[in-house]
Amino acid sequence: MRAVVYHGPHDLRVSDVPDATIEDPQDVIIATAATSMCGSDLYLYQGEMPDLAVTGKTILGHEIVGEIVGVGSSVTRFSEGDRVTFPFSVSCGTCSMCTLGLTGHCSTSGKAIYGFRDLAGSHAEFVRVPMADGHLRSVPDVIDDAAAVLLSCNLPAAMIVVDAADVKRDNVVAVVGAGPSGLLALQLLTDRLERSPFVLDRVPHRLDRAASLGGIPIDVEADDVAGIIGEVTDGAGVDAVIEFAGRGDAFDLATSILRPGGVFAGGGVYRVETAHPTSLALLFANDLQMRLNGLANVLPEIDRAAQVVMEGSIDTDNVFSHRIGLDEVSLAAEAFSRRDDGFHKMLVTFDH
């Protein structure tokens, strides 16, 4: 089969690799119909997580929709021909962490993530799914492939963080990071707030998309962030921040614009920010409420996310900017990494 293989930072190559096969009775094999690249994949692609990518072996990707073409003998919930997706992390559904809903911390799988280390990801024609009964989910035919891909990670992650923000209708809210998950969070906020949320980013085309979806764009490099927010809030700061950038400077910015007692709801991945200094004094003095969800437990939210899509309350098409084939993934990954003008998120489609 063909797959995109990691060969080092900024070096992905489409290669012939061994076919995905049933290795355990709990496995299924999916023929990939569509996949994408998550912002968290960029940490591996850019060489920021060298311990999580094996040169010449790792197949990135954890977003998918496809059809089951092989079923292990112990699988009871799925059959060949089923249209399915899976969350970014593997979970058994029965361990103590899964029982608590903390599926991203499954003790049976060891917090295994598709596209990390030896577990092949979705940038391939076929994907092996271990512990399928525990975390595989069916996808209704009325959901198109683009929207279905978002069920693996972006949309349920956005829902988790918006819920964690616990906003009230009269709140002033800011979204930091206008990537795919940030734009989904922006849309989810629309029905919950009386006024449009601020959206903070440094990439012009991302801010343009946010504005088209009803957000109030603020360019963090060109605009007076504190002045704009201070004018609206009488200098107090926003009631809640939803953060999806996953970088230390974004964390600092988000906490700096919160009012005392405000809520920081984080969906950004801070895996590479281990040495970033954080002002505990600021967090303490302002009584800030910190709710981090970077290792999002998306499995319990996938069915609800599918319902949101079917209700038509969000524009999933607006999240994608490019539709490509497998051979174009390496070029698209570089464009995504550079935040090239107009490049927001790719949809990779397959013909079987």
Q: Determine the Cα–Cα distance for residues 173 and 161; give it in Å rounded to an integer.
A: 13
Read off the tokens for 204: 């012009």
pLDDT tens for 331-350 read 999 999 999 999 999 999 99
Q: Which residues are CB-neighbours of 87 under 8 A, at least 6 positions away? A: 62, 103, 135, 137, 152, 153, 156, 298, 299, 302
Burial class (CB in 10 A: 0-12, 13-18, 19+), 207: buried
The CATH architecture to which 2-152+297-349 belongs is: Alpha-Beta Complex (3.90)
Which residue intervals of the chain bear CATH 3.90.180.10?
2-152+297-349
The CATH architecture to which 155-292 belongs is: 3-Layer(aba) Sandwich (3.40)
Res 69 pLDDT > 80 = yes
pLDDT tens for 115-171 read 998 899 999 999 999 999 999 999 999 999 999 999 999 999 999 999 999 999 999
Q: Determine the Cα–Cα distance for residues 240 and 52; give it in Å rounded to an integer.
A: 33
What is the per-residue pLDDT for 294?
Answer: 74
What is the per-residue pLDDT for 51?
Answer: 87
Q: Determine the Cα–Cα distance for residues 292 and 250; give it in Å rounded to an integer.
A: 14
- Read off the pLDDT band of 316 (50, 70, 90): confident
Q: Determine the Cα–Cα distance for residues 90 and 108; give it in Å rounded to an integer.
A: 9
Q: Which residue has the higher pLDDT, 273 or 151?
A: 151
- Report in angstroms the alpha-carbon separations of 322 from 125, 148, 153, 178: 19, 16, 18, 17
The rounded percent of the chain whose pLDDT value lies above 70 is 100
Strand pairing category for 12-16 and 2-6: antiparallel
Which residue intervals of the chain bear CATH 3.40.50.720?
155-292
Q: What is this structure's pTM?
A: 0.94
Q: Determine the Cα–Cα distance for residues 185 and 191; give it in Å rounded to an integer.
A: 11
pLDDT tens for 84-95 read 999 999 999 999
Q: Determine the Cα–Cα distance for residues 30 and 237; give it in Å rounded to an integer.
A: 48
What is the per-residue pLDDT for 191?
Answer: 86
Residue ranges of the alpha helices (H) in 71-201?
96-99, 132-135, 145-150, 154-165, 180-190
Q: Determine the Cα–Cα distance for residues 174 and 264; give it in Å rounded to an integer.
A: 10
